[in-house]
Chains A and B, each alone.
Chain A
Amino acid sequence: MPYHEFEVSKVIPERKQHAVMKGAGEDLTSCLPLGYLNTIPGSISERGCAYCGAKHVIGTPMKDVIHISHGPVGCTYDTWQTKRYISDNDNFQLKYTFATDVKEKHIVFGAEKLLKQNIVEAFKAFPDTKRMTIYQTCATALIGDDIDAIAQEVMEEMPGTDIFVCNSPGFAGPSQSGGHHKINIAWINQKVGTLEPEITSDYVINYVGEYNIQGDQEVMTDYFKRMGIQVLSTFTGNGSYDDLRGMHRAHLNVLECARSAEYICDELRERYGIPRLDIDGFGFKPLADSLRKIGLFFGIEERAEAIIQEEIARWQPELDWYKERLRGKKVCLWPGGSKLWHWAHAIQEEMGVKVVSVYTKFGHQGDMEKGVSRCGEGALAIDDPNELEGLEALDMLKPDVIFTGKRPGEMAKKVNVPYLNAHAYHNGPYKGFEGWVRFARDIYNAIHSPIHKLSLIDISKDEIDAGKGFQTRRMISDEGLPEEIRKSTELREYTGKYDSVSALREKTYPEFPRAEAGTEAVAE
């Protein structure tokens, strides 16, 4: 096994099995790090807790819901400015954060009364919002607060309200991934099948594992609507609570982030016979293939094809402009979980960069299987890295850019490596054809920004060459490019708008006649 031992982790020998360097001829039977295990004591992990995974990642993107944390206010830290899962109802779920603000006295005397008071107060403050989710945290789980009982009481006292309880305190798993699992299973057990949805199309999907980061869901839903497909629910970005109660009526589950949401797809497949179709919304080829697959399933592939042709004609010249300027750049792909495999192959093929390392904070071995397969030889794959390992890897690999979360990202900046936010994006959305170009533009801006050279100058002692003038990104990126590319009239920089999402909300879509009632649409 091609394990990689970090110098800084020699004192934590168990860490060795968490990093591998893919060598010539290696495959998954010989090269896979351990994963989804408890963090080794002494290793300062970058992971989140199981409550965070349940609430901040999966629960809260639901848009028409009061989301309450039952616990100390500190647990709600990751809310306002750290998350970017927007919604088309003026971002209700981002603007209002609720916590019961449990204090020491409640730990001693119990916090159920406090919880009930908070629930009632919140419903009264927002009388139009009748749906609520409540999340257990470490402190309230340890004192044994019975959230279910309180929720039941309130639902009886306040008719018309509906409450979902998620029992996933911080300690309920090795990482946020434990919380993803818990909320998936809790939702299907408690809520799926409790409401019958209205079916308006012959082609009905649930869009699962999609969190509408900077508008991703709205971009993808636009394609689906253009194909005449009804998106019954989105689990959970920009998704509606009541729509998600009707998930059992979809014909197909289209699964994007398998890491966080495959559980509910697998359960829906087993309990209701709804197939699970894994897709990639990132990258021209993967996205085009994904739309074709959905089209094939419903026998409407020509509708997908029309969209693909139109979008590629519009955006390919812009993607290629960046590709020419990103060729050979070394990338560390260090996201939380699924993006390591969503992006690994597509960015190499379509943007010309080279992935020198993948890592995952909370991924399982299944994610590493996909990631290790999709990147090339010599790539360093790390599970649950600590900060010192991250720094050592940056020093060893000398990447031109890293894609990661904002905490390790800030650390990378300090060693002069540009960073892009892989979770919340810089100037997203990154899904969709246009989104992929926006991602390329962000990478270009990160790598070629003159700030990296300037930041190395110490004005207190270095000589400043005043005669040299300034540099622009373009001057840096085009140095050494062949003239026909530099002056190409076919390739062009991104020409989309600053906001590529809001206009989608006003769009009208073609009506597709439905097959006669009782006849099923069949694949050709």
Chain B
Amino acid sequence: MANHKIKNMAERKYQKVYTSNPVADADPLTKERIAVLEHYIMKNCLWQFNSRGWDRRKQNAGILGKTAQLLCGEPVDVSVPLEKCYWVDAVMLERAYRKLCPWLADLSKDDIKALMQLLNARMDWLTIDGSLNQELTVVNY
């Protein structure tokens, strides 16, 4: 029987990043925009629901980070299969967002990045740090 050693044990130890909803203090327009972006993900996507917290952190950062790059017309790293897989979900999200949110076209690159960063924080809160799911901190698959 194969004896598999877990390589990333340190990162599997749960570390909280957010202690409250990071969107709570945003202005009403930003809140409204984040809600639309979040709503689409929660209804249509599955990538945000990997079973463990450390994977969710990577998924959120990987896919939303690449979506932000795509929305800003910047090059995206697809050099290794894992990155390419994030890119695939990011492309789908970017297309949906462009259709759903015509106002994105009027935002500057910096504004898009700031908004996507806040969305990333919100998703981390919703699916990891604020989540009631007790299995996220289990260290094995």
- A residues within 8 Å of B by Cβ? 27-30, 32, 34, 36, 185, 188-190, 193, 251-252, 258, 262-263, 266-267, 269-271, 273-280, 285-286, 289, 292-293, 296-297, 341, 345, 364-366, 369-370, 373-374, 522-523
Taking a contact as CB atoms closer than 8 A, the residue among B8, B82, B132, B141 that contacts A275 in the complex is B82
22 sampled A-B residue pairs with Cβ under 8 A: A28-B126, A28-B133, A32-B131, A32-B132, A189-B1, A252-B81, A258-B49, A269-B82, A271-B4, A273-B80, A275-B85, A276-B50, A277-B85, A289-B92, A292-B92, A293-B88, A296-B88, A296-B91, A296-B92, A366-B51, A366-B135, A374-B43
Determine if B113 is an interface residue (Cβ-Cβ < 8 Å): no
CB pair B78–A366 under 8 Å, yes or no, is no
Given A270-B7, A292-B92, A251–B132 Cβ distance below 8 Å?
no
Question: Would you list which residues of chain B between 47 and 96 have a CB under 8 Å from chain A?
Answer: 47, 49-52, 55, 78, 80-82, 84-85, 87-89, 91-92
Give B122-141 as 1s and 0s: 1 = Cβ < 8 Å from A's Cβ atoms.
Answer: 00011100111111000001
- For the A-B complex with A185-B141, A190-B2 known, give 17 more contacts whose Cβ atoms are closer than 8 Å: A28-B130, A29-B126, A29-B130, A29-B131, A32-B133, A36-B135, A188-B2, A189-B2, A251-B81, A262-B50, A270-B8, A293-B88, A293-B89, A296-B87, A297-B84, A297-B85, A370-B49
CB pair B81–A274 under 8 Å, yes or no, is yes
Determine if B21 is an interface residue (Cβ-Cβ < 8 Å): yes
Please indicate the chain B residues that have their CB under 8 angstroms from the CB of A251 in the complex.
Answer: 81
Please indicate the chain B residues that have their CB under 8 angstroms from the CB of A296 in the complex.
Answer: 87-88, 91-92
CB pair A29–B125 under 8 Å, yes or no, is yes
CB pair B44–A267 under 8 Å, yes or no, is no
CB pair A273–B82 under 8 Å, yes or no, is yes
Determine if B46 is an interface residue (Cβ-Cβ < 8 Å): yes
CB distance from B51 to the nearest CB of A (A): 5
Determine if B101 is an interface residue (Cβ-Cβ < 8 Å): no
CB distance from A441 to the nearest CB of B (A): 25
Determine if B36 is an interface residue (Cβ-Cβ < 8 Å): no
Determine if B42 is an interface residue (Cβ-Cβ < 8 Å): yes
Taking a contact as CB atoms closer than 8 A, the residue among A266, A271, A289 that contacts B50 in the complex is A266
**In the bound complex, what is the Cα–Cα distance between A346 and B127 (angstroms)?**
22
**In the bound complex, what is the Cα–Cα distance between A402 and B8 (angstroms)?**
44
**Residue in B4, B49, B52 with the greatest tally of chain A CB atoms within 10 Å:** B49
Please indicate the chain B residues that have their CB under 8 angstroms from the CB of A274 in the complex.
Answer: 81
Please indicate the chain A residues that have their CB under 8 angstroms from the CB of B78 in the complex.
Answer: 522-523
Please indicate the chain B residues that have their CB under 8 angstroms from the CB of A364 in the complex.
Answer: 51, 135
Taking a contact as CB atoms closer than 8 A, the residue among B47, B49, B88, B91 that contacts A366 in the complex is B49
The 8 closest A-B pairs by CB, nearest first: A275-B85, A29-B130, A278-B46, A373-B42, A32-B132, A365-B133, A266-B141, A296-B88
Taking a contact as CB atoms closer than 8 A, the residue among A273, A341, A374 that contacts B81 in the complex is A273
Q: Give B20's nearest chain A residue, CB to CB.
A: A29
CB distance from A484 to the nearest CB of B (A): 28
Please indicate the chain B residues that have their CB under 8 angstroms from the CB of A276 in the complex.
Answer: 50, 85
CB pair B85–A262 under 8 Å, yes or no, is no
Please indicate the chain B residues that have their CB under 8 angstroms from the CB of A373 in the complex.
Answer: 42-43
**In the bound complex, what is the Cα–Cα distance between A188 and B7 (angstroms)?**
17
**In the bound complex, what is the Cα–Cα distance between A84 and B50 (angstroms)?**
29
Please indicate the chain B residues that have their CB under 8 angstroms from the CB of A292 in the complex.
Answer: 92
**In the bound complex, what is the Cα–Cα distance between A271 and B50 (angstroms)?**
17
Q: Give A278's nearest chain B residue, CB to CB.
A: B46
**In the bound complex, what is the Cα–Cα distance between A293 and B95 (angstroms)?**
12
CB pair B51–A266 under 8 Å, yes or no, is yes
Please indicate the chain A residues that have their CB under 8 angstroms from the CB of B133 in the complex.
Answer: 28, 32, 365-366, 369
Please indicate the chain B residues that have their CB under 8 angstroms from the CB of A28 in the complex.
Answer: 126-127, 130-133
**In the bound complex, what is the Cα–Cα distance between A373 and B84 (angstroms)?**
27
CB pair A370–B46 under 8 Å, yes or no, is yes
Please indicate the chain A residues that have their CB under 8 angstroms from the CB of B91 in the complex.
Answer: 296
CB distance from B19 to the nearest CB of A (A): 12
Please indicate the chain B residues that have their CB under 8 angstroms from the CB of A280 in the complex.
Answer: 46
Give B17-59 as 1s and 0s: 1 = Cβ < 8 Å from A's Cβ atoms.
Answer: 0000100000000000000000000111011011110010000
Given A293-B88, A296-B91, A366-B51, A267–B141 Cβ distance below 8 Å?
yes
Q: Give A280's nearest chain B residue, CB to CB.
A: B46
Given A275-B82, A370-B46, A262–B127 Cβ distance below 8 Å?
no
**In the bound complex, what is the Cα–Cα distance between A150 and B10 (angstroms)?**
39
Q: Give A31's nearest chain B residue, CB to CB.
A: B132
**Residue in B87, B88, B92, B133 with the greatest tally of chain A CB atoms within 10 Å:** B88
CB distance from B103 to the nearest CB of A (A): 23
Please indicate the chain B residues that have their CB under 8 angstroms from the CB of A185 in the complex.
Answer: 141
CB pair B43–A365 under 8 Å, yes or no, is no
Please indicate the chain A residues that have their CB under 8 angstroms from the CB of B55 in the complex.
Answer: 266
**In the bound complex, what is the Cα–Cα distance between A126 and B32 (angstroms)?**
64
Please indicate the chain B residues that have their CB under 8 angstroms from the CB of A273 in the complex.
Answer: 80-82
Please indicate the chain A residues that have their CB under 8 angstroms from the CB of B92 in the complex.
Answer: 289, 292-293, 296
Taking a contact as CB atoms closer than 8 A, the residue among B7, B81, B89, B126 that contacts A27 in the complex is B126
Q: Give A255's nearest chain B residue, CB to CB.
A: B46
Taking a contact as CB atoms closer than 8 A, the residue among B51, B82, B84, B126 that contacts A262 in the complex is B51
**In the bound complex, what is the Cα–Cα distance between A81 and B84 (angstroms)?**
43
Please indicate the chain A residues that have their CB under 8 angstroms from the CB of B127 in the complex.
Answer: 28, 369
Please indicate the chain B residues that have their CB under 8 angstroms from the CB of A374 in the complex.
Answer: 42-43
CB pair A365–B130 under 8 Å, yes or no, is no
**In the bound complex, what is the Cα–Cα distance between A365 and B91 (angstroms)?**
28
CB pair A369–B44 under 8 Å, yes or no, is no
**In the bound complex, what is the Cα–Cα distance between A365 and B44 (angstroms)?**
18
Taking a contact as CB atoms closer than 8 A, the residue among A275, A286, A370 that contacts B84 in the complex is A275
Please indicate the chain B residues that have their CB under 8 angstroms from the CB of A341 in the complex.
Answer: 46
Please indicate the chain A residues that have their CB under 8 angstroms from the CB of B1 in the complex.
Answer: 189-190
